[in-house]
Amino acid sequence: MIAILMVSMAVSCKKPGEDTIDFNKENLLENIANNQIAPAINDFAEKVSSLQSDYTTFQANPTTDNFETVRNSWKLAYVSWQTVKIFDFGPMRDYALKGSIGTFPTDTTKVLSNIASGSYTLGTAANIDAVGLSSLDFLLYRNDALTFFTSDNNYMQYGLDVIQKMNQEISAVQGQWETYKSTFITSTGTETTSAFSLLVNEFNRDYELAKNAKLGIPIGKQSLEIQMPEYIEARYSGISLDLLKGNLEALRNLYTGGSGVGFDDYLEHLDRGALNSTIRTNFNTIISLIDGFSGTLEQEMQTNVSGLNELYVELQGQVVNLKTDMTSAFGILITYQDNDGD
């Protein structure tokens, strides 16, 4: 009788959302590691390798066709980067990959100064905004870009040096990831240093960077509605909205776990199905709004301010769902700092 009473009390005291079977976060991390992080790193490494190969062909034979091939390879690499930069922990953070490859906007004055001198160390902190994918946006798409390549050996060499630097860095991370992967999969706790906590934090941080750096700052959301087109990512090529969409699709894919276990499954396990449904719906709405634009971000800033404002409001609304409600349900503490005011 006493034993039955104790079991009854244990059942009746169970909190809402608790389950007698713990959610297996190791399955979640294994899915993300094997089916998202590793493929993303490998794909980007392949794209950068192809970019370097195409660039050396162009360097040897700087024709218009070879130049367009380099431009296309660069675009493919930049879109691929959107699926990698979310995972800024472990080897990626050790090599400071997110800053060295993804910093924008580029300092064009510094780039041109480096080219003019012909002497530079691209790996220094002073050159963080003169390297990476954004610097190539300027080099490849500034007015009369092909002429600069064909008439200035330093200019041609600088582009190659930037690409080789990226190739070396992603290759190093690619090798280190395989070693780190087992540590990542088994680190399922909620302490701030656990892989699960780092994953949730970087997911949220990258989402906010997409909202602010890719859209909010250029359209004036942090400058009293005064537009700042000089902060547009990939302004010279005009692929800013493609990058924003790629970034958000990658974040959505991480949230859902693709065809495997994701954050959505964990929320369902915690009886937070309504929150999961809201997050999924909002991701779809946001990406659909981006699909509705027909021009570049800079063109839309001139002709469709209301549409961009609508997109920003949707992006902002999702922050509370992800950064507050989801992380609270997971028992994760947000450790990064931002000045977003949310």
Q: 189-246: per-residue pLDDT in tens?
A: 999 999 999 999 999 999 999 999 999 999 999 999 999 999 999 999 999 999 999 9
List CB contacts of 185: < 8 A, sequence separation 6 or more: 26, 29, 30, 33, 195
Q: Quick one: which of 87, 105, 74 has its CA closest to 174?
A: 87
Rounded average pLDDT over 170-182: 96
Q: What is the pLDDT of residue 1?
A: 41
Q: SS3 of 150, please?
A: helix
What are the distances in angstroms from CA 306 to CA 66, 298, 301, 311, 312?
Answer: 40, 14, 9, 9, 10
Q: What is the pLDDT of residue 22?
A: 87
pLDDT in tens, 98-157: 999 999 999 999 999 999 999 999 999 999 999 999 999 999 999 999 999 999 999 999
Q: What is the pLDDT of residue 307?
A: 98
Q: b/e map of 167-200 (b: 16 or more CB within 10 Å)?
A: bebbeebbebbeebbeebbebbeeeeebbbbbbb
What distance in Å separates the CA atoms of residue 332 and residue 202, rounded to the nearest whole number? Answer: 12
Q: SS3 of 193, please?
A: coil
What distance in Å separates the CA atoms of residue 268 and residue 17, rounded to the nearest whole number? Answer: 9
What distance in Å separates the CA atoms of residue 312 and residue 301, rounded to the nearest whole number? Answer: 12
Residue 81 in contact with residue 100, Cβ under 8 Å? no
Residue 77 in contact with residue 237, Cβ under 8 Å? no
Q: What is the pLDDT of residue 9?
A: 38
What distance in Å separates the CA atoms of residue 29 and residue 139, rounded to the nearest whole number? Answer: 39
pTM greater than 0.85: yes
The domain spans of the chain are: 22-187, 189-333
Residue 162 in contact with residue 107, Cβ under 8 Å? no
Residue 197 in contact with residue 333, Cβ under 8 Å? yes
Which one-letter DSSP state was computed for residue 320? I
Note the CATH architecture for domain 22-187: Up-down Bundle (1.20)
Residues, the chain: 342
Tell me the helices (H) and strands (E) count for the chain, helix number first.
Answer: 18, 0
What distance in Å separates the CA atoms of residue 106 and residue 169, rounded to the nearest whole number? Answer: 19
